[in-house]
A and B are shown apart, each in its own frame.
Chain A
Amino acid sequence: MALLEVDNLHTQFFTRQGVVKAVDGISFTVEAGKTLGIVGESGCGKSVTALSLMGLIPKPPARIVEGSVMFQGRDLTKLSERELEDVRGKEMAMIFQDPMTSLNPTLRIKTQITEVLDRHYGYSKDEAVKKAIELLEEVQIPRAAERLNDYPHRFSGGMRQRVMIAIALACNPKLLLADEPTTALDVTVQAEILDLLEELRREHDMGMIMITHDMGVIAETADEVAVMYAGQFVEQTETQELFDHPEHPYTEALLEALPQLEGEGIRHGRLRSIAGRPPDLILPPPGCRFAPRCPHASLGDGCAEQLPDLKPIRQGHLVRSRHPASQREAAVTA
């Protein structure tokens, strides 16, 4: 049985301006020991997805209106807040994008780590401190014992993210959600953090969901990947397959937007960007949501009228498009 099975998840925000359908029917599974990458541009709903899994969406305006999240045999959407609190931090953990603001500036690192241990395992003070030092060493923070007493502002960005990882791993969770963990960091540090994550993931045999807007990160870390656009998945497959045979026009555009400095696909001249903006999630267009920006949509093909389903185009490769790449080639050669 898969570690995590999400089925038809719908998360909506009820605001004064209307109902924002942030997550509009996505399904996926994560196997133990594997990494699922969710990639998409800002505002597509990927962070909300992760927060929905943990039940961390702000409850008054937001709500999971439909769908199930099966984790370890239980549907998380049906659990009470207290039950969820037992799952969070212990079975499922999350690290966030901005390590500067994600740590409490007025508490020592020691407290921020030990409180998790105390909460879920009831460690004594000494045991907790010892374990905390171990954790810091695991994330490769030098002079761990001394630095334990420091406040967050004494650490650099990369170090803070390591601390966050240490906190997340403290109770050996089975699943780790990483919401753009490297976006706020320097490029040189990014690679280190990703490597660290991968190493720890393998050691602890965790499943991981890596959320990012960076295809490069996907290439490095994800076993499987889902491309998200305007609250829905538009393509889902294994990573290698996605890079070798991207089908959805959006995926292609994302890949084309990557700078290529050397090798086969070397690109000169201007970087390609995707024209236009994502649709309004309160009143999404009736048809394909990418249609306004899609170079292959044209009048009369139904793209703007009817939303295509997420269908397999090959074994293990789902696409939500009327013009997947392989069919386009076929049409041309025909």
Chain B
Amino acid sequence: MIELIDVYKIYAEGGDSEVRAIDGINLKVSAGEFVAIVGPSGSGKSTCMNIIGCLDVPTSGTYILNGTDVSEMVDDEQAAIRNETLGFIFQQYNLLPKLSILENVELPLLYRGLPRGERRDRARIALETVGLMGREKHLPSQLSGGQQQRVSIARALAGDPKVILADEPTGALDSKTGREVMELIHKLHQAGNTIVFITHDPNLAGEAQRKVSFRDGQITSDEVLVRSTDI
């Protein structure tokens, strides 16, 4: 599903202030996998996630997503990939404050060009999955942090993506609501989604099937975890 081959991301290349954010990594994630990426800040895990999410392009190397080489694509082609193949869950939710919950969830479908009726239906189903039916008309600011993160999960779901990318999804939440959000992510995984998520919480990382550790732009360990609950 995801294949990074010899990928580098270097800022200010050749200059005095050269930063090797990603210093030659190879990573392969199969469909249906649940991968946690861990590492201290500045280790390159976020940059790696941005490249996987087609939000950033590698300085060199190849990125194959769902069988397509996306590292050579132009902006608008990448936009289409983001829209159809990827679903994002951000630490800061990143909801549009002036749009209602339903409109927020509809956004990826809007840019896909779906007709209004279909958008509404699919957004409602996604909101139902995250348990927020009945709040469609609310603005994000009228919801709690946990609820907002559930809206952003619904938004990632609505587009029916192949891969869900979550960058510290519980980072801004208290442990109880964080727990709820993690349960939801587990549910998505059980429903067959490929999930890649970043965390610095070792307990959360332990919930994944596989843990990839980053340090100084390189992958230092890649271990398969076996959990009794995970069958």
Pair from one complex: no
Name A residues whose Cβ lies closer than 8 Å to a Cβ of B: none
Question: Interface of B with A (CB < 8 Å)?
Answer: none
